[in-house]
C-alpha cells in the first residue's frame, strides 16, 4: 500500500518515508529538491501525518529520502 500526497507548486519532488516493517508502505509529502516541506501548503491532516512520520523515524519509518514526484 502506498500513500502518496499529491505534488503541488512547491516542486516535483517528494520526501518519502518508508516503513521499517512493511516494504510496500511509503508515505510521501511534496517538497523541494533539498527536501524542505512547505508546511503551510499542507492540509491539517497531511501536516499531522508529516509530523507523525518524523516523530517515529527509527521505530516505524526509515530516514526519509527525496525522490522525483510520482504525481508528475
The pLDDT tens digits of the residues spanning 31-40 come to 999 999 999 9
Q: Cβ of 59: how many Cβ atoms within 10 Å?
A: 8
Q: What is the pTM of this model?
A: 0.80
Question: Taking a C-beta distance cutoff of 8 angstroms, is the pair 29, 42 a contact?
Answer: yes
Selection from 44, 55, 4, 46 nearest residue 27 by Cα: 4
The pLDDT tens digits of the residues spanning 43-57 come to 999 999 999 999 999
Cell of 52: 507523525
Amino acid at each position: 500500500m502506498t500513500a502518496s500526497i499529491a505534488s503541488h507548486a512547491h516542486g516535483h519532488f517528494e520526501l518519502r518515508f518508508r516503513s521499517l516493517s512493511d516494504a510496500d508502505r511509503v508515505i510521501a509529502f511534496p517538497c523541494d529538491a533539498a527536501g524542505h516541506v512547505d508546511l503551510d501548503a499542507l492540509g491539517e491532516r497531511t501536516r499531522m501525518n508529516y509530523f507523525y512520520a518524523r516523530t517515529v523515524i527509527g521505530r516505524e519509518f526509515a530516514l526519509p529520502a527525496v525522490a522525483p514526484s510520482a504525481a508528475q
